[in-house]
């Protein structure tokens, strides 16, 4: 529940690009073991919010904390080491590396052996390296990519790339995972598989901020919802209450929206 030491909390966060206010006084909390859906029309500020949380952008006002740790001045690498990872709208593999190696790179965030241990090739280092290889293989199985382990990641299909992107983020062992349009471009079978994986991550204690234009997909998976429009929050709460909110329906469907319209089916 919000308020736990491991919550991700945004309080009054604002981001401007010149005269454009992309995010205005945004407050929300993402709890571990819950899915928090973040939706809104194009230009609402959703991806900007993910960039702010992960250190790729700096807020002009407000605070972002993870438990007792303030994030607003930390670089992306430090935020990732704290246990917050993300995916990107454009799933881009690390060029020239195999599928297996792409996942292995994600695991190196938690690598503990120091330079001395690596140079000495001591027992602890060898044990850790073996464990990382085994974990990478396990993750490929979770995401259905095991048969493609040796394949150059640049040769994957769009859907396979999307799953590799998420696998690499999960390899970083996050407590909070920010998913930016993870269902975009997936077919129905891939979307169903993604939904199953998100539920599995949640049940394993990972908190997620889920951003996607597939509104029914987000509603079906979320424990809590926040809706943005023109950078501001227009509704927040339980999915059923948010679904009925007139401001939300107008933002998506116009004033003539009726119960049962396609976006809410």
Query: Is 111 a residue whose pLDDT tops 80?
Result: no
259 vs 265: CA distance, rounded Å: 8
* Residue 206: φ, ψ to 5°: -85, 130
Mean pLDDT score of the chain? 86
187 vs 171: CA distance, rounded Å: 24
132 vs 135: CA distance, rounded Å: 5
* Domain-embedded: residue 176: yes
Query: Is 265 a residue whose pLDDT tops 50?
Result: no
More confident residue, 74 or 258: 74
Give pTM, 2 decimals.
0.86
**Is the alpha carbon torsion for 111, 113, 116, 122 positive or negative?**
negative
More confident residue, 261 or 80: 80
Question: How many structural domains are present in the chain?
Answer: 2
In the prediction, which pLDDT does 252 show? 73
Query: How large is the average pLDDT for residues 124-129?
Result: 65
Do 117 and 233 reside in the same domain of the chain?
no
In the prediction, which pLDDT does 256 show? 37
- pLDDT tens digit string along 59-86? 999 999 999 999 999 999 999 999 999 9
Residue 241 DSSP code: H
175 vs 44: CA distance, rounded Å: 26
Of 122, 155, 188, the one marking the end of a domain is 155
Do 102 and 67 reside in the same domain of the chain?
no
- Please name the helix (run of DSSP H) or strand (run of DSSP E) that holds residue 200, with its range, or none: helix 188-203
* Domain-embedded: residue 166: no
- pLDDT tens digit string along 9-49? 999 999 999 999 999 999 999 999 999 999 998 889 999 99
pLDDT band at 123 (very low <50, low <70, confident <90, very high): low
Do 14 and 54 reside in the same domain of the chain?
yes
Query: Is 122 a residue whose pLDDT tops 60?
Result: no
The CATH number of whichever domain residue 53 belongs to comes to 3.40.50.300
**Quick one: what percent of the chain has pLDDT higher than 70?**
85
Do 115 and 23 reside in the same domain of the chain?
no
158 vs 73: CA distance, rounded Å: 34
Do 145 and 103 reside in the same domain of the chain?
yes
135 vs 137: CA distance, rounded Å: 5
pLDDT band at 253 (very low <50, low <70, confident <90, very high): low
* Domain-embedded: residue 246: yes
For 110, the domain range is 97-155
């Amino acid at each position: 529940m919000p308020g736990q030491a491991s919550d991700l909390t945004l309080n009054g966060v604002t981001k401007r690009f010149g005269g454009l206010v992309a995010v205005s006084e945004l407050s929300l909390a993402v709890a571990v073991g819950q899915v928090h859906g973040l939706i809104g029309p194009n230009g609402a500020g959703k991806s900007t919010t993910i960039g702010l949380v992960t250190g790729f952008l700096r807020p002009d006002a407000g605070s972002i904390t993870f438990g007792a740790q303030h994030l607003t001045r930390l670089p992306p690498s430090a935020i990732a080491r704290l246990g917050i990872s993300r995916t990107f709208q454009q799933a881009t593999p690390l060029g020239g590396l195999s599928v297996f190696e792409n996942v292995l790179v994600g695991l190196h965030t938690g690598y503990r052996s120091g330079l001395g241990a690596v140079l000495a090739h001591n027992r602890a280092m060898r044990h850790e390296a073996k464990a990382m290889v085994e974990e990478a293989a396990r993750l490929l199985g979770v995401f259905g990519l095991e048969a493609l382990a040796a394949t150059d990641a640049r040769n994957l299909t769009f859907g396979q790339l999307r799953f590799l992107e998420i696998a690499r983020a999960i390899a970083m062992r996050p407590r909070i995972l920010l998913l930016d349009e993870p269902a975009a471009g997936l077919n129905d079978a891939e979307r169903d598989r993604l939904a199953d994986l998100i539920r599995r991550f949640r049940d394993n204690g990972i908190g997620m901020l889920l951003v996607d234009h597939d509104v029914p997909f987000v509603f079906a998976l979320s424990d809590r919802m926040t809706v943005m429009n023109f950078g501001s929050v227009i509704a927040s709460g339980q999915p059923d209450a948010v679904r009925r909110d007139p401001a939300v329906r107008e933002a998506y469907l116009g004033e003539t929206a009726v119960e049962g319209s396609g976006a809410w089916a």
